[in-house]
Amino acid sequence: MTMSAEVIQAVDPRNGVTGVAYPPTAPETIRKVIAAARLAREDIGWRFTPARVKALSGLAERLQRRAEPLIETCMAETGLSRARLEGELERTWRQIMLFAALIETGAHYEVTIDTADPDVRPAPRADLRRMMVPIGPVLVFAASNFPFAFSVAGGDTASALAAGCPVICKAHPGHPGTSELVANEISGALADAELDPGTFALVQTASVETALGLVRDEAIEAVAFTGSTGAGRAIFDAAGARERPIPVFAEMGSTNPVVVTKSAIEDRGDSIAAALAGAITRDAGQLCTKPGVIMVPADSAGEFREALREAVLAADTGVMLNQRLYESAVAAVDSLSRLDEVAPVLSEPAESSGHGFGLAGAIFASSSAALRANPELRSERFGPIALLVTYDDVEDLVATIDGFEGQLTATLQATPADEEIAQRIVDHLLPLAGRLVFDGVPTGVAVTAAMQHGGPYPATTSAAYTSVGSAAIHRFLRPVVWQNAPEWLLPEPLKDGNPLGIPRVVDGVPERS
Amino acid sequence: MTMSAEVIQAVDPRNGVTGVAYPPTAPETIRKVIAAARLAREDIGWRFTPARVKALSGLAERLQRRAEPLIETCMAETGLSRARLEGELERTWRQIMLFAALIETGAHYEVTIDTADPDVRPAPRADLRRMMVPIGPVLVFAASNFPFAFSVAGGDTASALAAGCPVICKAHPGHPGTSELVANEISGALADAELDPGTFALVQTASVETALGLVRDEAIEAVAFTGSTGAGRAIFDAAGARERPIPVFAEMGSTNPVVVTKSAIEDRGDSIAAALAGAITRDAGQLCTKPGVIMVPADSAGEFREALREAVLAADTGVMLNQRLYESAVAAVDSLSRLDEVAPVLSEPAESSGHGFGLAGAIFASSSAALRANPELRSERFGPIALLVTYDDVEDLVATIDGFEGQLTATLQATPADEEIAQRIVDHLLPLAGRLVFDGVPTGVAVTAAMQHGGPYPATTSAAYTSVGSAAIHRFLRPVVWQNAPEWLLPEPLKDGNPLGIPRVVDGVPERS
């Protein structure tokens, strides 16, 4: 991609060919779409759930129908494989349908009613009826590495629209054509559902100042972001420095430490190595859940290291999404190669054809002591790069775990023979992460009610929320209680007799509709 | 109170008599209690719910048993009446019991389980089991105006302990003796329940730097605060500027606008005036839900103004909590008196005996146009002070409402004759506030599941949360999902067969225990 302010242009990572040039959104257009989002706020709120269900369902259908041009355009802009993008697009429309289904049930209102009670101590209680309402216009920053699922019509946009919030989406400059095509489908689906056209707008820009200007705009009520720690923190800081601060839900990636016990290696070392090799190299390691550090016992590391090496060597070579990520990954490999405390296991010279951004998997080895001493070793390296770290015993292991910052995931590969140490290891992994993975790999994030895709800083700026799964809608809602409201002024979800037939808790008891 | 760094000393607001001098907590003691809280984190977490239930229940009993010395000490430190403090103390132990009862049910774990499903598209789903875990040590800032309910053993401490988080409480320097007595009861209750003594510590300080140092301490994971906008924002900024930012749940007060319609004045003008007079003057107006601006139609304002004047004149005169608040309130009255666009309705010279901090109710009148033009008129004035604002028609009214910042509450006094305009007014009040009050006054905050005590900035720093009611526990929990965990590594709340018999949602369906 070209990052000048004059033009936004993807480069095909497979061959270096420059794509269509898109003009950045003009400042006056940005002002207009923000004003329109502010106005749309009233017109798509909680009263308009059926229209929002229709818009989301329509959008899911449109994305299916338009799969072929979307995938073709996206392949040329991102270099991701057809199989991957087919899967990602399906995931994207399915997650849009999940939010449509959720709001159709009315569960997202989270209605809680405590009826008036003159006998409550120390003071009589008024009638209190609480429900969730949309917070207002949401600014979504699209990610480079999921051009569908975390981009223009991704989980952030879908959950914000489902909540009843207008969305301004800042497209990722890495896939401007894909972004335009998807945005057109969103606008079409909103029109079909007769929702205010100001409900959604795409902003194309490669200017950091323009992007931060959106964060600072008085009309914006929350920001959702997926990307690097640096960009996420800049957005968080700008939002916090506003006269009226707003929440930022930034998912900023993760090292995703993996612990393998001795008994797990004895039991299934080769299959663990194969699974990890896949997770490290799939999509050229450009996943925020890629396992970046793998901790194995020193006394059984040798054979495992060989197995991992073989499996990564045998894996397909991918391409990095763009030149910047390619150069960062090459620099990371180079930097690891220069460290005394790190030994190469597999680090062929970066494999570029001279045109594209191809990169082979790279594995390095180090020790727990080195990892504890050098924070750089614990940090995320975007790309097909992983660090194998040997530990001496469980004491050494948990001290090393305690040195990690917040993570999206933490993984334990163990067997029932580890009963004495496994719980201790989990107790140290738990404070780190939002998701604990057992006997598997951290890549692959299911879109479902129980998912938690988040974690303590710097994995995210808000560990209480998830950006994947139906709970992601909570980011864009806030509770309001109607106290002693006459029936004629109560919103439908709170009226006596539950006319919408939605789940409600009344005086502590779930109401049967 | 004396705000020097050398000594913390309340002044009896009823007579100006200086109380016992308390030394500020020594820096080395602060370091020790923070280290102890960090260690206690592991020892009081989700595994220890029964012990936490015992500690909270024991604390509630102890506060009841010790009511007399607590209330005596508190009256001398705050000048609040016996009746008020008796009610507040009862509310305080009842809210502790509410949190004990909540965690005894296990509802706070919010367990959601999605079992493995190989047929899920586009990828098979692993077994996912999500529950809430405590976030770690919480720093609580006690408030001046609720020496029990929002102080050392108030809702913030109770909900954090219930969640499984150690608490460091920064006492308010206005009531150091009350704080010490209450802290002793907390430590006693923790000991009775055999919980780690590091679970709770009181810090007495009048130093802003010491307080902000606590906010910046690496061991602290969240801050709860009730107080002024200035102090709340300073804490929010300090927490956001940390290398690892933490959430701040600051409740910073509110103007609490009240709208009265013409038909409501015709229907029950005198009783509305009487209720408002009580809400303005009760506890010398030192409530964050005190109605500060009352909007009435210009063409029926005269009689209502007289009724309000009479009712406020007849009300008991209270004392301000301390000299600083007394001086601020006197300055606010003085400042309003000097404005051309404001007319006095009732503003006798501030009524100080020369010893205490007594202050009579003060009412001023102005217009919607003046309120829109001058942000000072829309701001909170702590004390028995209110502004009566006349509006011309509903257009003028909603334009005026739109000029308010975020609020804890917004109130509408109307009748069924207002059907045409009332919904419109509510639509404009809704984006402002966390609680909409109908045909009542905003003071009086019930401690229950449906309560929302919060609202858009600057009412709070986090409109998604409440500081009153059982939902307040959400501030101190974060979700974690166990993916594909073997049964022997699952925590009790997530195990097959639901051995704890807690509410869980499994594959979208509430589980029957």
| Domains (range + CATH), chain B | 24-106+134-252+464-476 (3.40.605.10), 258-438 (3.40.309.10)
Best B88, B119, B130, B409 residue to mutate vs chain A (most A CBs within 10 Å): B130
Among the partner-chain residues A247, A452, A479, the one whose CB lies closest to the CB of B452 is A479
Residue-wise pLDDT for A440-464, tens only, equals: 999 999 999 999 999 999 999 999 9
Which chain A positions have a beta carbon within 8 Å of B463's beta carbon?
A: 135, 478
Active site residue A288: yes
pLDDT of B35 reads 97
End-to-end alpha-carbon separation of chain B, Å? 53
Q: Going along B257-298, which residue ranges are E strands?
A: 258-260, 293-297
Q: What is the pLDDT of residue A144?
A: 97
Residue of B nearest to A408 (CA): B480
CA dihedral A37→A38→A43→A45, nearest 10 degrees, is 90
Range list of β-strands (E), B255-302: 258-260, 293-297
Tokens of B296: 């009435």
Interchain CB distance below 8 Å, B480 and A435: yes
* B450 neighbourhood in chain A, CB within 8 Å: 112-114, 128-130, 481
A480/B435 CB distance under 8 A: yes
Predicted pLDDT of residue B2:
46
Check residue A450 and give its pLDDT.
Answer: 98
Instruction: Please state, in angstroms and as integers, the Cα–Cα distance from residue B140 to each residue in B8, B52, B203, B370, following that order.
Output: 18, 18, 10, 39
Query: Is the pLDDT reported for residue B49 higher than 90?
Result: yes
Q: What is the DSSP string of B123-164?
A: S-B--EEEEEEE---EEEEPPSS-TTTTSTTSHHHHHHHHHT
pLDDT tier for residue B428 given thresholds of 50, 70 and 90: very high
Residue A265 has pLDDT above 80, yes or no: yes
Span B307-323, mean pLDDT? 94
Contact B484 A449 (CB under 8 A): no
With beta carbons less than 8 A apart as the criterion, state whether B224 and B475 touch: yes
Locus of tokens 């940005």:
A30
Closest chain B residue to the Cα of A508, Cα to Cα: B449
Lowest mean pLDDT of A191-200, A347-356, A359-368, B292-301, name the range: A347-356
C-beta of residue B292 within 8 angstroms of C-beta of residue B255: yes
Tokens of A225: 């972001």
Does the pLDDT of residue A274 top 70, yes or no?
Answer: yes
CB contact under 8 A, B236 and A244: no
Range B17-22 average pLDDT? 94
Out of A94, A461, A478, whose CB is closest to B463? A478
* Of residues B352 and B148, more confidently modeled: B148
Predicted confidence at residue B513, as pLDDT, reads: 55
Let me know: does B130 contact B115? Beta carbons within 8 Å: no
Distance (Å, whole) CA A146 – CA A169: 14
Percent of all residues in chain B with a pLDDT value above 90, rounded to a whole number? 94
The pLDDT value given to residue B437: 98
pLDDT, one tens digit per residue, over A391-433 is 999 999 999 999 999 999 999 999 999 999 999 999 999 999 9
Of residues B12, B182, B136, the one with CA closest to residue A432: B136
Residue listed under structure tokens 């109401």: A511
For A124-155, what is each residue's pLDDT tens digit? 999 999 999 999 999 999 999 999 999 999 99
pLDDT per position as a tens digit, B256-271: 999 999 999 999 999 9
Higher pLDDT, A350 or A430: A430
Q: Which helix (H) or strand (E) holds A173?
A: none
Number of C-beta neighbours around residue B420 at 10 A: 8
pLDDT value, residue A356: 84
Q: What is the mean pLDDT of residues B501-512?
A: 93
| Contact between chains at A451 and B245 (C-beta distance less than 8 A) | no
The pLDDT confidence band at residue A317, using thresholds 50, 70 and 90, is confident
Query: Which of the residues of B are catalytic?
Result: 251, 288
CB contact under 8 A, B484 and A129: no
What pLDDT score does A6 carry?
Answer: 81
Nearest CA to B21 among B13, B30, B29, B10?
B10
The CA-CA-CA angle for residues A487, A135, A24, to 5°, reads 145
pLDDT of residue A42: 80
List phi, psi (to 5°) of A68: -60, -55
Residue A3: DSSP 8-state: -
Q: Which residues pair with B358 in a beta bridge?
A: B319
Q: What is the pLDDT of residue A3?
A: 47
Give bridge partners of residue A246 from the DSSP assignment. Answer: none
How far is CA A107 from its chain centroid? Answer: 23
Cross-chain CB nearest to A416 (options B414, B427, B488): B488
Between CA A324 and CA A286 the distance in angstroms is 13
Residue tagged 């999921």 (tokens): A146
Residue A2 is predicted with a pLDDT of: 46
Q: What is the mean pLDDT of residues A307-336?
A: 94
- What is the token pair recorded at B307? 């009724």
Contacts of B478 in chain A (CB under 8 A): 434, 456, 463-464
The span from the CA of A153 to the CA of A147, in Å, is 9
The mean-pLDDT minimum among A248-262, A352-366, B52-66, B71-85 falls in: A352-366
CB pairs under 8 A between A and B: 212
pLDDT at B48: 85
Does the bond joining A257 to the residue before it have cis omega, within 30 degrees of 0?
Answer: no
- Which of B429, B438, B465, B511 is the mutation pick for testing A, counting most A CBs within 10 A? B438
Chain A positions touching B487 (Cβ under 8 A) are none
pLDDT at B3: 47
The backbone torsions φ and ψ at residue A203, rounded to the nearest 5 degrees and listed phi first, read -115, 125
Better-scored residue on pLDDT, A42 or B511 = B511
DSSP designation for A132:
E
Distance of CA B218 to the CA centre of its chain: 25
Q: Which member of A165, A185, A288, A380 is catalytic?
A: A288
CA distance B192 to A264: 43
Say which residues have a Cβ less than 8 Å from residue A214's Cβ, sequence separation at least 6: A30, A34, A139, A168, A170, A203, A220
Mean local confidence (pLDDT), A351-370? 85
Q: What is the pLDDT of residue A47?
A: 80
pTM higher than the cut 0.95: yes
- The two tokens of residue A203 are 């902003």
Chain B residues in contact with A86 by the CB 8 A cut-off are 122
Q: pLDDT category, B46, cuts 50, 70, 90? A: confident
Q: What percent of chain A has pLDDT over 70?
A: 97
Q: How far apart are CA A423 and CA A214, in angstroms?
A: 46
Q: Which chain B residue has its CA at the smallest distance from A422's CA? A: B489
- Which pLDDT value is given to residue A354? 58
Mean confidence (pLDDT) of chain A: 95
Q: What is the DSSP letter of A438?
A: E
Compute CA A223 distance to the chain's CA centroid, rounded to the nearest angstrom. Answer: 13
Query: Quick one: tokens of B64?
Result: 């009841």
Other CB atoms within a 10 A radius of the CB of residue A65 amount to 11
> Closest Cα partner for A165 from A188, A132, A129, A193?
A132
Of the candidates A164, A172, A247, A241, the residue with the CA atom closest to the CA atom of residue A203: A172
Q: How far apart are CA B365 and CA B390, in angstroms?
A: 8
Nearest-CA distance A16 → chain B (Å): 31
pLDDT band at A117 (very low <50, low <70, confident <90, very high): very high
